[in-house]
Amino acid sequence: MTRIFFACDAHGSVPVLRKMVKVHETYNCDIVMMCGDLTGKAVVPIVEEKPGLWWSAPWGKRETYKSQEAVDQIKKTYEKRGFYWLLTTPTELADLEKNRDKVNELFLKLMLDRMQDWVRLIEETVPSDVRVIVSPGNDDSFAIDDIIRASSRIVYPIGTAVNLDGDHSMVSCEWVNSTPWKTPRECPDEELKLKLQVEFDRVGSHENLICNFHAPPYGTQIDLAPKIDEKLRVKVRFGRPDIVPVGSRSVRELFEKYQPLLGLHGHIHESAGVEYIGRTLCINPGSAYMQGMVNAFVIDLPKKQGDKVEVLNVSA
């Protein structure tokens, strides 16, 4: 039996990334997977106004800190939420506010540094008999891919069929159908279908195939999210968020056609769960990265042809 620990959507949360290098100890898994949306979304300046006085304003309201211990604590808070913090001065901050290119360069550097630190932690912590698979998601810059590829300890599954255990192969696609957020790896669903077809064509048989597709299939319990208007505000209906399916019709169509064994998905944080499309079991562990929690599925692949996949939803 092959056991997989599958999680996604860490979004740069330091506690989540650190927990991922330890999960093999608790769950006795053969393969650890962190797939999709690995990096954070924002840089938060911590400004030293004068010796012994700092401030930051991540949510628009200025917070002040009067000790190094308080600064260290707010750093940890930001790291848990996946933010990148920057110790700076009022003069340096004013210079950054005038120069968008500098801000972008800073964000890229901090993002790559945290990604490199996590890869190094994997290499130093996870034993060699545990396989580690890491793939990006639609939110991730293409700049992180080379860091993953460069590690001799990590399997980068994009653009290839990965043999998991001799009986099960896995194909991957980090792209998703179009979103209101204009992320780096999204495209119209018709274009996504072409990318997915390339992945199905990599293997001759689909009966034991596992599809690591970041986009969940459309019209399921694992692709539901609040509807967003043209100003990126949540639409409300009868006093509550209007919840709609936002997954990929192409993923669903190709699953209905090829009926792979298992679909591994993420992307929609609030729609954790399981769903069958014919014989294909589709799972989305969801994400609670802002609380520093790892939501995941422990997956036992079947020993015999025709047996079902066994899954257990866990949090750490």
Q: Quote the percentage of the chain above a pLDDT of 90.
A: 95
d(CA 248, CA 243): 16
Specify the DSSP element, H or E, that contains 85. strand 84-88
CB under 8 Å to 1, separation ≥6 — which residues? Answer: 300, 301, 303
Same domain assignment for residues 98 and 201: no
- pLDDT of 155-200, one tens digit each? 999 999 999 999 999 999 999 999 999 999 999 999 999 999 999 9
pLDDT at 231: 83
Same domain assignment for residues 155 and 196: yes
The verdict on residue 187 lying in a domain is yes
Whole-number mean pLDDT of the chain? 97
Same domain assignment for residues 32 and 52: no
pLDDT at 307 over 90: no
Total structural domains in the chain? 2
Which residue matches tokens 């019209």?
A: 219
pLDDT at 28: 97
The verdict on residue 112 lying in a domain is no
pLDDT at 99: 97
Same domain assignment for residues 211 and 131: yes
The verdict on residue 115 lying in a domain is no
The verdict on residue 189 lying in a domain is yes
Mean pLDDT across 26-41: 97
pLDDT at 113: 98
Same domain assignment for residues 11 and 144: yes
DSSP annotation string for 251-305:
HHHHHHHH--SEEE--S-TT--EEEEETTEEEEE---BGGGTB-EEEEEEE-SST
Residue 81: DSSP 8-state:
T
- pLDDT of 42-59, one tens digit each? 999 999 999 999 999 988
The verdict on residue 298 lying in a domain is yes
Same domain assignment for residues 143 and 292: yes
The verdict on residue 208 lying in a domain is yes
The verdict on residue 119 lying in a domain is no
The domain boundary residue, chosen from 106, 139, 155? 106
d(CA 192, CA 138): 12
User: With bands split at pLDDT 50, 70 and 90, how would you rate the model's confidence at 117?
Assistant: very high
Same domain assignment for residues 21 and 84: no
Mean pLDDT across 196-213: 98
Same domain assignment for residues 307 and 181: yes
CATH of the domain at 299: 3.60.21.10
pLDDT at 72: 98
Q: Quote the percentage of the chain above a pLDDT of 70.
A: 100
User: With bands split at pLDDT 50, 70 and 90, how would you rate the model's confidence at 306?
Assistant: confident
Same domain assignment for residues 13 and 139: yes
The verdict on residue 117 lying in a domain is no
Same domain assignment for residues 31 and 52: no
pLDDT at 173: 98
pLDDT at 294 over 90: yes
Q: Is 215 left (phi over 0), alpha (psi -120 to 50) or beta?
A: beta
pLDDT at 53: 98
CATH of the domain at 60: 3.30.420
Same domain assignment for residues 150 and 187: yes
Same domain assignment for residues 87 and 17: no
User: With bands split at pLDDT 50, 70 and 90, how would you rate the model's confidence at 224?
Assistant: very high
Give the structural domain span for 8.
2-39+127-315
- pLDDT of 236-291, one tens digit each? 988 899 999 999 999 999 999 999 999 999 999 999 999 999 999 999 999 999 99
